[in-house]
Structure 1
Amino acid sequence: MFFRKTLDIVTLFHKAGSPASQRVATLLKQASAAASSTATEDQASDSAAQTTQRPEFDLNITEEAPTTDQLQTILEYVGPKGIPSIIQGAETEVDALRKFKQSHDTFQRPVVVDWSNGKAIAGDNESAILTLLNALPKK
């Protein structure tokens, strides 16, 4: 019996009016489509072709703010140096959570989160996002 591995979940916290966020959404959609199309083609071919392909992942794009629990997890992923890139004007995790509770608008989009592998990237750094996607475990 064949059991398929659960796909990693990658979430984009998106802001539709933001050009940077739109670029990231397009990049993620293209990467997701390319990964799923090559995965089905390569399943019957040799495994050498699979080593160069990007692994499939579940893409979740939301314009909702993260929950407080999600935000805490994202802040853990980025570490103390990354906090200001996630919450505007925050320097510490406590400060970030306080500011976020006062106003969800302090959450700076776009933010890409790989929940399965504990990574988050704020902003539209295309090479960092592609590196994150390429680091997803292969099936």
Structure 2
Amino acid sequence: MFRFHKTLDVLTLFHAPASTASKRILETLRSSPTAHKKSFELDVVEAPTVPTPTQLTSILEFIGKNRVGEVVPGARSEGDAVRLLKVEEAGRKEGGGGGMVRPLLVDWNNGRAVVGGDEGAVLRLLETLPGN
């Protein structure tokens, strides 16, 4: 008899290795009981890589488009955010600065995101993954 296995939820962490908050969130994700049960697949995307425009659209739908400035400081709209991220990515490749907020954790399967280093929010997201 064949049995179909449930696919794992994919969580993406947009991570800044130099950030204490980002390192703490990454450690929380790796050491959580949910991680030990293999309830999700963790994809770590390190700076300077930024979300694609399609990913950014999804992230803003998850958290609410009115919170765009929390993800990309200085952005007032989705279009602003896309433009600023392109500038950030180009600037980082040339050694410049940028401003996307990291850590940014995205649960693509369940349409949720946690912006910043709120460890409690990350733990709540993990605890409410389907199958836990």
TM tier, smaller: 0.7 to 0.9
Separation in 2, partners of 1:5, 1:19: 34
Q: TM-score, normalised by structure 1?
A: 0.79
Greater per-residue helix proportion? 1
1:92 and 2:77 matched: yes
Identify the residue that residue 106 of structure 2 maps to in structure 1: 113
1:36 Cα shift?
5.1
Identify the residue that residue 26 of structure 1 maps to in structure 2: 27
Identify the residue that residue 92 of structure 2 maps to in structure 1: none
RMSD: 1.7
Larger Rg: 1
What stretches of structure 2 of length at least 5 have no aligned partner? 90-97
Asked whether the 8 Å contact 1:12–1:62 carries over to 2, the reply is: yes
Matched residue SS, 1:112: strand
What stretches of structure 1 of length at least 5 have no aligned partner? 40-54
Q: TM-score, normalised by structure 2?
A: 0.83
Identify the residue that residue 59 of structure 2 maps to in structure 1: 74
Which AA in structure 1 matches 2:88? S
- What is the identity percentage for the equivalent residue pairs of Structure 1 and Structure 2? 40
> Which range moves more in the overlay, 99-108 or 125-134?
99-108
1:81 Cα shift?
3.3
Separation in 1, partners of 2:54, 2:26: 23
Which AA in structure 2 matches 1:12? L
> For this pair of structures, how many residues does the alignment match?
121
